[in-house]
Chains A and B, each alone.
Chain A
Amino acid sequence: MDIAGTEELKRTPLHAAHLRAGARMVPFGGWDMPVQYAGVRAEHTAVRERAGVFDVSHMGEFRLTGPGALAFLQHVTTNDVSKLKPGRAHYNWLPNEAGGLVDDIYVYRVADEEFLLVVNASNIAKDWAHLQSQLPSSGVEMIDESAATALLAVQGPQAEALLQGVTDVDLGAQKKNAYFQASMFGLPVWLARTGYTGEDGFEVFAASEHAERLWDGLLALGIVPAGLGARDTLRLEAGFPLYGHEFSDSIHPLSSGYGWVVKDKLHLGHEHIRLPSTQKLIGLRLERVPVREGYPVKLGGVVVGHVTSGTSSPTLGYPIAAALVEAHAAHAEQFAVEVRGRDHEATRVEMPFYKRL
């Protein structure tokens, strides 16, 4: 078997804390990140049943301020940012001019004329250049706060109860996608009731120099450190797309079934994004053999697409996959996935594969 080596990689403010917690570090989008601590399954189960914490400080944060900030975001994103009140956040897309996605992002409205964008780690430089190229000559100031910002995701059914004991804000009163200032362990933070696991939870924005004290405090509460491995199995079970897999510069984003992210407004690339997608993202279930990104998906012996993400689902106990297939084939029930030269039956199932009741 092959085990990857290491290269010159960026580190989050929690790098030393990960090593202390026994993490296995791997390169991810140019960063040296924890893929697992105790093990993917144990961490996955902790998040589904109790609470886990992820270091997502590698993600990028851009702050936009000024009288032109809203109009600028309306131009460069597909969702309707004018509907976002201060103290609220939403999922959004950065379209390119050809109808693909530069990135999928989260937008937080801090105040009438102030917004925070959270972007994928591997896309920070690309997103920054793209946004700079669209920036008007006046009225909007954009600052890259990625290096100065730590971001922790506390996820799981016990997240609220555990965090309540160390936070000065009534968390029960905060709805999904709320974004608010708080004090946690006596440190200034911003919290958002958001996540990427299919569970309830909060994301904690803090200055990088406070990251270790927050992390150590959360672990002392019994919150389990969880790595990128569990983050990927959790998000795939919950049916969340991941940039670079289900989305890219060239994949038509409406193939994902996330059409609600595109609102009726004029924005960059709007004439292309509104065209019907010739591909569709579907969910597949296999009996035994896990399937991975890139494996061919067949219908009646003919290749109609490929797997975009696949894993063995820790919650469900069988392999699951997302696959991008030709739209005409997307309603079939039985497919085959070619694994190392052999076809294995795959049944189409609805996504999300898992939903908390």
Chain B
Amino acid sequence: MSTPTDRQYASSHEWIKEDGDVSVVGITDFAQDQLGDVVYVELPEVGRVVSAGETVAVVESVKTASDIYAPASGEITEVNDALSASPEKINEGALDGGWLFKMRVDTLSSELMDAASYEAANG
């Protein structure tokens, strides 16, 4: 399992990483591996204001639908449109090309972990 140290992690298996004046959000490598083949992704509307912990997206594998929770409060500024045609990008690269959305962060969730803590929790 790959857990880069350049970002923070939620216990519900999302990551969030600063990228200029916004932050990028995706699911972890562990999560994509647990899910298996991703077949459909439902992303939030750009401009939507969300609270940390709120359900903002859905990632569906052949087996199941999984809710994705916002790791921060703020506003959605961009979504990864490539996922609607190619949801398998999440399996191919959950930590980079399979990112879900970008958001302007007001407040990060108080329960985020660093890479070492996330790995320890999911070893």
Contact = CB atoms under 8 A, between A and B. Distances in A.
A232 B39 CA distance: 16
A1 B62 contact: no
A3 interface: yes
Given A24-B34, A312-B60, A340-B58, A2 B39 contact: no
B39 A1 contact: no
Contact of A1 (B35, B40, B42): B35
Interface residues of B, number: 24
A40 B36 CA distance: 7
**Residue from A1, A35, A232, A289 with most neighbouring chain B CB atoms (10 Å):** A1
B42 A289 contact: yes
A3 B14 CA distance: 12
Contact residues of A: prevailing secondary structure: mixed
A36 B42 CA distance: 24
Nearest to A286: B40
A44 B61 CA distance: 14
A75 interface: no
B62 A3 contact: no
Q: Is the interface of B mostly helix, strand, loop or mixed?
A: strand
B17 interface: no
A242 to B, nearest CB: 14
A302 to B, nearest CB: 25
Contacts of B66: 1-2
A311 B62 contact: yes
Nearest to B66: A1
Interface in A178-208: none
A36 B61 CA distance: 12
A289 B63 CA distance: 13
A41 interface: yes
Contacts of B36: 24, 35-36, 39-40, 229
A41 B65 contact: no
Nearest to A3: B34
A40 B40 contact: no
B37 A41 contact: yes
Interface residues of A, number: 22
Interface in A19-69: 24, 35-36, 39-41, 44
A233 interface: yes
A288 interface: yes
A295 B9 CA distance: 31
B67 A2 contact: yes
B70 interface: no
A9 to B, nearest CB: 18
Nearest to B67: A1
A87 interface: no
Find the residue from B27, B60, B62 having the highest chain A CB count within 10 A.
B62
Given A1-B12, A3-B13, A314-B62, A40 B67 contact: no
Contacts of A292: 64-65
Interface of A: 1-3, 24, 35-36, 39-41, 44, 229, 232-233, 288-290, 292, 311-312, 314, 319, 340
Which A-B residue pairs are the 7 nearest by beta carbons?
Answer: A1-B66, A312-B39, A40-B62, A41-B37, A290-B60, A1-B13, A229-B63
25 contacts: A1-B12, A1-B13, A1-B27, A1-B35, A1-B59, A1-B66, A1-B68, A2-B67, A3-B34, A35-B63, A36-B63, A39-B37, A41-B62, A229-B36, A229-B63, A233-B62, A289-B42, A290-B60, A292-B64, A292-B65, A311-B62, A312-B60, A312-B62, A314-B62, A340-B42
Interface of B: 12-14, 27, 31, 34-37, 39-40, 42, 58-69
